[in-house]
Amino acid sequence: MAIENFEEKVNILEKESKEAIQEASDLARLENIRIKYLGRKGVLNELVKELPDIREGSRARFGHSINFAKDNLERLIDEKSQELKNEFIAEKLEKEKIDITMPGKIFALGHLHPLTKVERRIEDIFQSMGFEIVFGSEIESEYYNFDALNIPKNHPARDLQDTFWLRRGLLLRTHTSPMQARYMEKNNPPLRIIVPGRVFRHEATDASHEIQFHQVEGLMVGEDVSLANLKAVFEEFFKKFFSTRGKKIEVRFRPGYFPFVEPGMEIDIKIASSKWLEVVGAGMVHRKVFKSAGYAPGKQQGFAFGLGLERLAMLYYGINDIRLFYSSDFRFLKQF
């Protein structure tokens, strides 16, 4: 065969492969092209097999043009490969670009309800004074809510208006005091407990009354627990509780009546220049309550108190309507 025909073949292959390289849209396709033309069994090497058909004088020229074509293709493939790689990187960079001037995402984290926060604060302070935290049940019996606490059958607190009655002598506890009776039945003095929990009263609601609210009951009993201990505990408690508010606070003890204490009292506080506010009912545990609990007469003395959680939270945060606590209003809740 004439050398010109071979050269023609090589030219055609070169042209054809150049076009293919140009069009290759990714590295995998480019590699296939390389194998097809430059591979060990590729088109160009196949052509070399035809070398013996060529006149001896032209062989060198033929070899030269094949090598030239190979070098050329290799260079084109390398260039294209570099080009594709650059494109790939550029695209990737574009996709993964971070605009550091964009505003950050705000992750909405929940937080505790203001009443829970205040409850925990109260618990911490009483725990630091050696009180243990116990819990009672929201459904109580008439016996523990009233009888065991020396609240006689005809006492106004038993009036249908105040109590949510359930069936079979059960009711929604109207205060946390039933736990005094329950705890003393099962435990011997000396003892120091607080009982945080929800209570219920069948009353009209207004800015300072809700049908459900929270109390923290307290009870300290021992052979020589006195009124002086009650005073000391509350002076310490209020000092610590309002310490983060940095306001001057005064505490006042006033006589008050509760059937399960004798003497009974109310504890008022006054913050800075505002009015006196009643926040705690308290007193020395009545002997009849000790008797119901099965304690030997005359041996033990103790004080009990019932603290209004919402009242205290309202004072602490400066909230003027108790109903806000149960309103589920985010504008209110977000502030705590």
Question: Which residues of the chain form contacts with ligand PHE (CB under 6 A)?
Answer: 175, 177, 258, 261, 281-283, 304-306
- Considering the complex, what minimum distance in angstroms separates the CB of residue 261 from ligand PHE? 5
For residue 114, whether the previous peptide bond is cis, meaning omega lies within 30 degrees of 0, is no
Task: Give the residue nearest to ligand PHE (CB).
Answer: 306
What is the number of other CB atoms lying within 10 angstroms of the CB of residue 280? 25
Query: Residue 197 or residue 283: which is nearer to ligand PHE going by CB?
Result: 283
Cα–chain-centroid distance for residue 23? 56
Query: Residue 191 or residue 261: which is nearer to ligand PHE going by CB?
Result: 261
Query: Residue 6 or residue 241: which is nearer to ligand PHE going by CB?
Result: 241
DSSP for 59-76, written as a single string: HHHHHHHHHHHHHHHHHH
Please report, to the nearest 10 degrees, the dihedral formed by the alpha carbons of residues 156, 160, 163, 164 taken in order: 180
- Considering the complex, what minimum distance in angstroms separates the CB of residue 196 from ligand PHE? 13
Query: Residue 114 or residue 283: which is nearer to ligand PHE going by CB?
Result: 283
Those residues whose C-beta lies under 8 Å from the C-beta of residue 71, and which sit 6 or more positions away, are none
What is the number of other CB atoms lying within 10 angstroms of the CB of residue 18? 14
- Considering the complex, what minimum distance in angstroms separates the CB of residue 267 from ligand PHE? 10
- Considering the complex, what minimum distance in angstroms separates the CB of residue 264 from ligand PHE? 6
- Considering the complex, what minimum distance in angstroms separates the CB of residue 280 from ligand PHE? 8
Query: Residue 177 or residue 301: which is nearer to ligand PHE going by CB?
Result: 177
Between CA 303 and CA 306, with CA 304 as vertex, the angle to 5 degrees is 150
